[in-house]
Amino acid sequence: MTALLDAGFEWRGRSDDPNDEQFGDVVEATTLDDAGEYDAVLVGEPYDGAVIGRRGAREGPAAVREALAGLKTHHFDAGPAGPVGDLGTVDIPDGDVASVQRAVRDAAAAVHGADAFPVFLGGDNSLTYANAGPLLGGGSVGVVNVDAHLDVREPLEGPSSGTPYRQLLDDGLDGYACVGARHFETSTAYHDHVRERGGAVVTAEEVGEDPVTAADRALDALGDVDRVYLSLDCDVLDAAAAPGVSAPTPGGISTRECFRLLRLLAADERVAGYEVVECAPPLDRDGLTVAAAARAVAHVLAARGAGVGA
Query: How many C-beta atoms surround the C-beta of residue 36 within 10 A?
Result: 13
Question: pLDDT (tens digit, 9 = 90+) per residue, 148-189?
Answer: 999 999 999 999 999 999 999 999 999 999 999 999 999 999
- Whether residue 19 has pLDDT greater than 80: yes
CB 28: neighbour CB atoms within 10 A? 13
Q: What pLDDT does 115 receive?
A: 87
The pTM assigned to this predicted structure is 0.96
Q: Rounded CA gap, 54 and 279, in Å?
A: 11
CATH number for the 4-306 domain, one of 3.30.230.10, 3.20.20.70, 3.40.800.10, 3.20.20.140? 3.40.800.10
Residue 2's pLDDT band (cuts 50, 70, 90): very low
DSSP letter (8 states) at residue 270: T
Per-residue model confidence as pLDDT tens digits over 81-112: 889 999 999 999 999 999 999 999 999 999 99
What are 21-55's pLDDT values in tens digits? 999 999 999 999 999 999 999 999 999 999 988 99
Residue 152 DSSP label: -
- Name the residue type at position 133: G
What is the spatial distance between Cα 135 and Cα 109, in angstroms, rounded to a whole number? 8
Residues 301/80/259/36 CA torsion (nearest 10 deg): 0
Domain boundaries, the chain: 4-306
CA distances from 214 to 187, 199, 258 (A): 22, 14, 11
- On the question of a cis peptide bond just before residue 123, with omega within 30 degrees of 0, the verdict is yes
Report the distance separating Cα 260 and Cα 45, nearest Å: 25
What is d(CA 245, CA 289) in angstroms, rounded to the nearest whole number? Answer: 8
Residue 199: per-residue pLDDT: 97
Distance, in Å, from the CA atom of 261 to the CA atom of 272, rounded to the nearest integer, reads 17
3-state secondary structure of 99: helix
Q: Among residues 269, 277, 228, which one has the least CA distance to residue 123?
A: 277
